[in-house]
Each structure stands twice: as C-alpha cells, then as structure tokens.
A and B are shown apart, each in its own frame.
Chain A
Amino acid sequence: MNETQARVLVVDDEPAIRRFLRVSLAAHGYVIFEADSGQAALSAVVADRPDLIILDLGLPDLDGIHVTRLLREWTRLPIIILSVRGQEADKIAALDAGADDYLTKPFGIGELLARMRAALRRAGQAGGQPLFTCGDLQVDLTRRAVTVSGQAAQLTPTEYDLLRVLVTHAGQVLTHRQLLREVWGVGYEQELHMLRVNISNLRRKIEPDSTRPRYILTEPGVGYRLRDDG
C-alpha cells in the first residue's frame, strides 16, 4: 500500500484541531475523514474504511478507551491516541485495550507523521521482519542473534524475549502490562520490578550509554518503546 494514499480518520470534538490535522495531513498526501464523536467515529470506520484512526481520548459521548475496545472486537486497524498531560491512566487503559500508539497534546506534526508511518508499516507487514536494524543495533529474530556494532551481545533468555517483543513492535509504545504478559505470561502483570531490572540489564548490554538510552526509550508512567529509525 502506498503511504501517500492512506485514508485517515480523525476523531476529535475540537474543530480547530480537526482543521489543523486536515490541512497538515492533506498536504502530506493523506486522504482525511473526520468525526466529532465516538458514535460518528464508529459509523465512519464502517462507511469510509480508513487505514488508520487518530482518536482523541476526551470525546463528548463515548470516551476514546471505549471506542478502542469496540473497534478491537472486529478490526486490527491501527489506532493512535491523542491525550493531554495528566491522563496517564487513560492512556495506559487505551493502549491495553489495543490502541497502537499515543501522542500527548500539544505535539508537532513531524512527530505525528513519524508515528503514523510506523503504525501503517507495522499494519502492512503483519508478521514483522526477521531482521531488525537501528543504528548499531541489529537483531536477527530467526537466529536469535543480537549484535551491537558488530559485537555479539550475550543476553539471558528473558532479556532476549523482552528485546524480541520490543522488536516485533518496534516504534510502538508497549505498556508495562503488555510487556510483562508477553514475556513472563498471564499473572505477572503486576511484577513491575522484574521488568525494570531486566530493562536496566538489557540497556547495559546493548546501549552505548545506559544512563542516556538511545534504543530502548522510556515512556514515563506508560511503558517502553524501541526506537525505529528505519
């Protein structure tokens, strides 16, 4: 699918924000549809068949979390959440409900475009690529091999699993809960310290400077994201 013809549904009750997105995104070749409420969004998804949804959390009727949940019952359509600072709990709830990414208002259009590209790419390549490269970091999922600047990194099985989950969702934010469930399994969602320690260890092995991570980025209060420059 060609990015520049992608159909995007913008769901926000603020006309000013819809207008800004319409103008900016159309200039980048996207086809824009708009909805100003949760219900309108649900019908627009059926009617306009968008490739991606930009969804505001605070809607007048159904909130964004609810809309995400309803959509995820039948579609894998990428959803990017828009929220304001202080809505961390809602953000996490929406991500756990299946949203792909989030942006905190106010945001720059460049950042939004990057997130949209990443989300669309992931949706396009279903199973993910077996070889991930970002800067000096290279992960070969078929061989379970991780190299940093060509040097093999010695990872424990848990660290590798963690990295694998991040790689398969590269560029996408993963909540603590999602990571714990994917790596350790159901029932470990509250064991945050295990995640923290393993992330810390992983960073020491793959980051050039673990105090200023370049690859594994922390999303404060939400989770982690693997940088995806490709």
Chain B
Amino acid sequence: MTRDKHDEARELTALGGEGLSDAQRAWLQAHRDECEGCRQYAEAVNGVVRSLRSLPLAADSRLVRATQMRVRFHASRLRETRERLWLVGMACLGVGLSATLSVPLLWRLFAWMGEWAGVSTLVWQAGFMFFFIAPALVVSMLLLARGAHLTNTGERSRQWRRES
C-alpha cells in the first residue's frame, strides 16, 4: 500500500459516504478490512460526527418570539410603503393624463386672456408657466414635510427595536 491510497481512503471517509460510487464503496471497504490505521480513522471520524450532531446548541423561545414580532412589524411597514407608492403612482398617472388633456386648452385660454387684457406675449406665457408650476411647488413642499415625518417614524421604529 502506498501513502496515496491511505490518503484517498481518508478523503472518501471524510465525505460521510456521500457521492461515492458502488466501486468506490467496495474499494473503501476492502481497504479498511486490510488497513488498521484507516479503519481506526473511520471510527474516529464517526465518533467526532456523532459528537457534532449531539451538540446542544439551541435557540431559545425569547429569540424566536422577538424575531417573529420584528418580522411582522417590518412586513406591515413594507406593506404600508407599497400601498403608499401605489397611491403616489396612481396620482402621477392621473396628473399626467389630466395635464396632457388640459395643457392645449389652458394655453389657448391664456392666449385669449392675454389678448383681451392687452398684455405682451411674454407676460401671459410667464403667467401660464407660473400657473403650471405652482401646484408642483406646493406638492414638493408637502412631500418634504412628509419626508421629515417619515424620518421620525424610522427613528421610532429603531427605538422600538432597541426596547424589544
């Protein structure tokens, strides 16, 4: 027997019997029958594996309950965020559609009002731009305020996590 065969036998033993062909199993068994060292090695491996499987490391119920609560809390937050995003998406769609339909009409209305009031083209066009941008400015400010509110909610969530 060469040293290579012992190494091979020990490597096959370390795999825990998985992925061995019938021929490999037969060879390994025959080798162990005639090699005392490799037979003892296999027994030692079995002993270590049995000890590993019997290690009493376990999660306690407190950890499991805390994890379940955190997961549920986080799931509800994700659901709220998704619903909010859906609402924002629908609002954007509505605004886009209504803007597409109303812009040509408003443009004509501002042109007619400008002509009726006798102001220059530049003035009524500036008025039109302001009329169009004003709602977006108001919404941006509201969203900024809402963003600050959400940040506070995140802080509360972290606080809750620390306390739990």
Q: Report whether chain A binds chain B.
A: no
Question: Which B residues lie at the A interface, using CB under 8 A?
Answer: none
